[in-house]
Amino acid sequence: MGTVQASDLELLSAEWPGWRLWPSQRGELACASRRRTLTGREAHAGLAPTLVEDTVADLVHRLGEQAEIERTLGPAAAV
């Protein structure tokens, strides 16, 4: 397991404005939490309020999966 740098996550923030990105306290994990509360429908469809991954690459992959779920839900999910 590598070290997750805050600077790497800061660079991604512009690409994922609906998420707050940060490294875990010990810098071992890449974390993201939504800047809004999910509806029950969104949570049931598989949207997650928080993501925690071993690497920045894994986090980016999961963020992409979340974006795909949002696209299937339509415009109301992107609010």
**DSSP per residue, 13-72:** HTT-TTEEEEE-TTS-SEEEEESSPPPHHHHHHT--SEEEESSHHHHHHHHHHHHHHHHH
Least confident of 4-8, 17-21, 65-69: 4-8
Q: How confident is the model at residue 19 (pLDDT cuts 50, 70, 90)?
A: very high
**pLDDT tens digits for range 26-72:** 889 999 999 999 999 999 999 999 999 999 999 999 999 999 999 99
Helical packing angle, 6-13 and 56-73, nearest 10°: 30
69 vs 7, residue with greater confidence: 69
Which residues fall within 8 angstroms of residue 67, CB to CB, at 6 or more apart? none
Q: What is the pLDDT, as a whole number, of residue 78? A: 54
pTM: 0.86
Q: What is the pLDDT, as a whole number, of residue 6? A: 81
